[in-house]
Amino acid sequence: MFELLQIITKGVIVIGIMLVAFFAVIKVLHADLDLRHLCNPRKIVEQAANEKLSWLPTREDNAIYQNGRVVGRVVGDIVNGDIFSFSEIHQCNELDFNSEFEFKKWQLKLDKCDEMIGIDSSAPHKGRIMKGVSCKVVGERSL
């Protein structure tokens, strides 16, 4: 009885695989292929790599982080030694000014801000906006 159940289960699995293969063949035969894209190995490898690595947690280039969360977006970053200058930091309602924050690979501490706007009526999606921001590099961010 056990062997009969094994054989039936394996048969169902094989039939399922054959059905998937059959429908894949039908789809390929009816597809209008873009041969320039298909014959471009760089694009094929790049697309396969992007799909395989899309699950990796990455940091955004224009974001600042505190406690692993995005707490602001920067515009116009300039590095001068151990001083970072930003022309603007927006969407920073959750930023704790007294605590260090992370930008790219650096740990920064807010030094000064020339102007702070609660909400700009011409750009309400930006939330709180800080302009002319200067920060000191405290170190490199830890893992």
Q: How far apart are CA 98 and CA 68, in angstroms?
A: 17
- Average pLDDT of the chain, as a whole number: 88
> What pLDDT, on the 0 to 100 scale, is given for residue 3?
86
What percentage of residues in the chain have a pLDDT greater than 70? 98
Q: How far apart are CA 61 and CA 70, in angstroms?
A: 11
N-to-C CA span, the chain: 56
Please give the angle made by the CA atoms of 82, 86 and 90, to the nearest 5 degrees: 135
Q: Contact 76/61 with Cβ under 8 angstroms?
A: no
pLDDT tens digits, residue range 10-22? 999 999 999 999 9
pLDDT tens digits, residue range 61-98? 999 999 989 999 999 988 888 999 999 999 999 999 89
CA distance to 39, 40, 42, 123, per residue, from 35 (Å): 6, 8, 14, 45
Whether residue 102 is predicted with pLDDT greater than 90 in this model: the reply is yes
What average pLDDT does the segment 22-42 reach? 81
pLDDT tens digits, residue range 43-63? 778 877 777 777 777 888 999
